[in-house]
Structure 1
Amino acid sequence: MVDGRWVERRPRRPDVERQLRTETRPPPWLAPQLPLAVPVPVPVPHIVSDDPLTVRHFMVPGEPLEELDASQGRTLGLFLWALHRAAAGEAVRRGVPPAREVLQERAWLADDFRTRHLPLLPPDRHDPAAALLEAVSALPADALVHGDPGPEHLLAQDGALTGVIDFGDAHIGDHAIDLAWALNGSSPAFAAAYGAQAALRERSRIWHCLGPWYEVAHGLDTGDQDTVRSGLNGVLDRLPGIGGP
């Protein structure tokens, strides 16, 4: 924090620098298009120093959400509805990863998950797990998405949704990825505001089921066996959701 109103960020590793620079490009164009009843709904970061790289933006008021109430759900639904209708081509020109790169990364992740995760699952769960990865590979990539609008990236104050933060994972992808948390066990008001139809709900369930796989990968990458176990429990808990009610 700087002067009680600025958030200042610096990359801790060289490989994060490119992502941080990319974060500074879309928000100035994107923020005015997105409806939230607060002065600064989306942080608009700008570079204040190149050496070392330092990015600064106004502090967005509020604390991370744990769940959505009806009012917050409606606001988030309208917010994401507007985000997903922003011009994808313009977003790519401003540094957002294009569909081609996203689909390549998605295929690489599916192969990695097959190689490292499937052997850790009970044999009788291999087939539904493999089916999930096949389903993910077939999903579209045709809209600008936030990439991870979960509780830690949604801020609220006095009961109102005040901001959506951290657009570092924004890309051209399947807009159902942004609905995974809100549509699966969260707020009915969100679904009504967004206008989620049956096919979109099914795709959101696929992304919801995939969520714990990333936790397993993080645990494997860091050697944290507790995280691996927690992620595997999540994988098994969510697998029956594919094609379910």
Structure 2
Amino acid sequence: METLEGQKVVVTGGSRGLGLGIVEALVAQKAKVTVVARDPVRLAEVSQRLGVDVVGGDVTDEKLARDVVSGVRPSVLVLNAGATPPMGPLHELSWEDFSRVWNVDVKAGFHWVQEALRLPLPRDSRVIIASSGAALNGSPLSGSYAGAKRMLWLMALYANDVARQLDLGIRFQAILPQQIIGDTELGRAAGEAYARSKGVSVEAFFAGFGAPMPPRKVGDNVVSILTDPRYAAGVAFGMKGDLGIVSLDA
């Protein structure tokens, strides 16, 4: 895509955190954005501030995914929504705590990717799936988080295979922020937990990642992936404050 101006874009989980940073970057490119999230107060705030359309609901709801994808028929779908994992070592988590991210992030990704393929989205559409650097390195204090994010990365590969077999012309890509982002609720909670486990201050822990990468920077990176020809054919892209966007394809 040479430009996002006028493109219909749906962003799940776009009312806060990384999703909001992505929405801000897309709006700056004059895309027509629809945000899907659960919290009506935050949805109202982002709608008023950024002039986007909003849809309230549970992103794991298959019917919601079908209704939004078929109703908006976006040319860009950004699957960012997910649960905040309970933080703690393996032996202290209940099964419900351990499996929460799998049951939210992966389930939501599954339904929205299916609907993108089944409708299908318009030819040359792009689907961005938010994974995590934890998919590469693990995340021992956040239950199933790393495994769930790895599955979402694999889901992008699987969906590309289906799109090729059916000649749909849709591209699925995974983004993997490779540092914990303290400017989000999830990132702050994770940073505090890991800092305690290492016996260092939160500030020292975050400083270990090098240059920070606030949510809006993640959004600008997503815009680059969507519009820069260098990223048109890749599947998985890491992101770091120091390095920018890096291909993770073998």
TM-score band w.r.t. shorter chain: under 0.3
TM-score (normalizing by structure 1): 0.26
Q: Decide which structure has greater helix share.
A: 1
Q: Which structure would you say has the larger Rg?
A: 1
TM-score (normalizing by structure 2): 0.26
